[in-house]
Amino acid sequence: MSNGVVGPCENAPVSPQHRAPEDAPGSYAPYRADTLLVEHDGPVTVVTINRPERRNAVDSVCADQLREAFLAFDSDDARSVAVLTGTQGSFCAGADLKAVAEGDRRPIPDHGPGPMGPTRLTLSKPVIAAVEGYAVAGGIELSLWCDLRVAAEDAIFGVFCRRFGVPLCDLGTVRLPRIVGHGRAMDLILTGRAVAAPEALTMGLANRVVPPGEALSAAVGLAHQLAALPQVCLRSDRMSALEQWGLTEEDAALGEARRGREVVRSGETLEGATRFAGGAGRGGTALD
């Protein structure tokens, strides 16, 4: 990884032996191929799901395009933070069940891409979800894949797929308990109830709540704040926080120390210390 950043994107290929016969592609004919809008605002990439006719529900075409868009973002040295959102007042209504009824079939392999696209990727850079309207079923799983969630006051989160017998297959049962705690996660997973943004904020599901219609602008502003920070250290600490979930405390401490040494060796720490010694950032003031 360039710029001294450690922890590249993990991307395990789909192994044919993991694909069951019932997971074979059907005779689905997608009604549109242009499912995403990808825009760049300096160091920030904005990825927008553009299927408003279906509340930005994701079919197999959209899932593949989402995954490719975030792989491209992760490999682009000019981009530091991404924002994921949806068009016309809806984040994502999950998997496109109309497409499933029309023959769209997506595998659920032991290894390889998740059905919603990027959810099994571990990127080296942060992603922020800008949530307007509904982030439900696979849509809540996409938001949980993001590092932070900025939600409009009238946004709704929920495991709505509970009522249709559609399982969580994009790490919803893994990330939701880790983010909000087991008890709260079981409430959402078992009942499938709607969770409004103010409640989502109290349980840690949302990180910021803003007035309706302002989620994207707030998320992009937050993304620029993150992009302005020293990137080697930010990405290293983020990756250490992600890695520790699968480690003992002792091994996690060793990993943190290893990553810390790499940041110091990059020269970024000395540069920051020199700026502080020169008077920058005193009293918690923002740096230019």
Rounded Cα–Cα distance for residues 110 and 20 (Å)? 11
Give the helix/strand (H/E) hosting 274.
helix 268-277
What are the residues facing 39 on neighbouring strands? 46
Rounded Cα–Cα distance for residues 127 and 47 (Å)? 10
Rounded Cα–Cα distance for residues 274 and 133 (Å)? 45
* Alpha-carbon distances of 271 from 4, 214, 228, 247, 283, rounded to whole Å: 14, 36, 15, 31, 19
Say if CB 102 and CB 59 are below 8 A apart: no
Rounded Cα–Cα distance for residues 28 and 60 (Å)? 9
Give helix 182-191 / helix 172-180 axis angle, nearest 10°: 140
User: 205: how many CB neighbours lie within 10 A of its CB?
Assistant: 24
- DSSP assignment letter at 13: P
Instruction: State the pLDDT at residue 63.
Output: 96
DSSP helix/strand/coil, 127: strand
Say if CB 162 and CB 192 are below 8 A apart: yes
Instruction: State the pLDDT at residue 225.
Output: 97
Q: Which tokens is 55 given?
A: 């509340």
Rounded Cα–Cα distance for residues 24 and 5 (Å)? 38
Say if CB 182 and CB 239 are below 8 A apart: no
Residues of the chain under the 70 pLDDT cut = 1-26, 283-288
Q: Where are the beta strands (DSSP E) in the chain?
A: 36-41, 44-49, 81-86, 127-131, 134-136, 148-152, 156-158, 195-196, 208-210
Q: Which tokens is 34 given?
A: 């242009």
Instruction: State the pLDDT at residue 33.
Output: 82
Residues in CB range of 247: below 8 A, 6 or more apart: 255
